[in-house]
Structure 1
Amino acid sequence: MRRRTFPLPWAAGYGLARTLLALGTLGTLVFSDAATLFREVATVGRYPLCQGVNAGGAFCLVSPDHYDTVRWLCCLVLVVAASGWRPRFTAIPHAYVAFSVFTGISIPDGGDQITWILTLLIAFVAVGDSRRWHWQSSRVLEKPESRHHALWALLSTSAIVLARVQMAVLYFQSCVAKLPHAEWADGSALYYWVNNYDFGAPNWLRPVLGAVVDEPLGVAAMTWGPLVLEIALAAALLMPQRVRWMLLPAGILFHLGIAVVMGLWSFAIAMWAGLLLLLSPLGHDPDFKRLLHRASRQPTASQARSDESAEVRVPA
Structure 2
Amino acid sequence: MLMNVVDRMGAQILRFRSASIPVQSARALLAAATLSVVLFTPWEQLTPEIAGIGRPTYCKPPVNLGLYCLDSTPDKSFAPWIASGVLILVTLGVVPALSSLLHAWVAFSISVGIGLPDGGEQVAQLVSGLVFLMSIDDWAWCAWVPNRGEVFNTARLSRYSAGIRWAGWLGLRLQMAYIYLDSGISKLSHEDWLNGSAMYYFVRDPSFGGSGIVGEVARWASSFDLGVAVLTWAPILIEIMIAVFLLGGPQRRKAAFVTSVLLHAGIIAVIGLWSFSLIMIAAVALAAFPGFRPTPVSDTQELERKEYAAIA
Q: TM-score, normalised by structure 2?
A: 0.84
Give 1:213 deviation, angstroms. 0.4
Q: Distance in 2 between matches of 1:43 and 1:239?
A: 52
> How large is the Cα RMSD of the aligned pairs?
2.8
User: Which is worse superposed, 98-107 or 126-135?
Assistant: 126-135
Residue 247 in structure 1 maps to residue 247 in structure 2:
no
Aligned match of 2:274: 265
Q: What residue ranges of structure 2 are gaps of 5+ in the alignment?
A: 306-312
Offset, 1:241: 2.9
Map residues 1-316 of structure 1 onto 2, 5 A cutoff. 4-5=11-12, 6-41=15-50, 46-65=55-74, 67-137=76-146, 146=156, 148-283=157-292, 308=294, 313=301
Residues 215/51 of structure 1: CA separation in 2 closer, same or farther (3 Å cut): same
Give yes or no for contact 1:9–1:125 (8 Å, CA) kept in 2: yes
Distance in 2 of aligned mates of 1:114 and 1:190: 24
Long gaps (5+) in structure 1: 285-307
TM-score normalized with structure 1 length? 0.83
Distance verdict in 2 for CA 1:95–1:144, change over 3 Å: closer
Does structure 1 retain, via aligned residues, the 8 Å contact 2:141–2:148? Answer: no
Indicate if the aligned counterparts of 1:9 and 1:153 stay in contact, CA closer than 8 A.
Answer: no
- Distance across 1 between alignment mates of 2:142 and 2:265: 28
Alignment check: 8 A CA contact 2:31 2:90 kept:
yes
Which structure would you say has the larger RCO, counting Cα contacts within 8 Å and 6 or more residues apart? Answer: 1
> Identity percentage over the alignment?
30
Distance change in 2, residues 1:43/1:126 (3 Å): farther
**Structure 2 SS opposite 1:235:** helix
CA contact (8 A) 1:95 1:116 kept: yes
Encode CA deviations 1:109-133: one digit per residue, 9 max, x unaligned. Answer: 1000000000011112223102121
Whole-angstrom CA distance in 1 between matches of 2:135 and 2:16: 15
Identify the structure with the greater helix proportion: 2
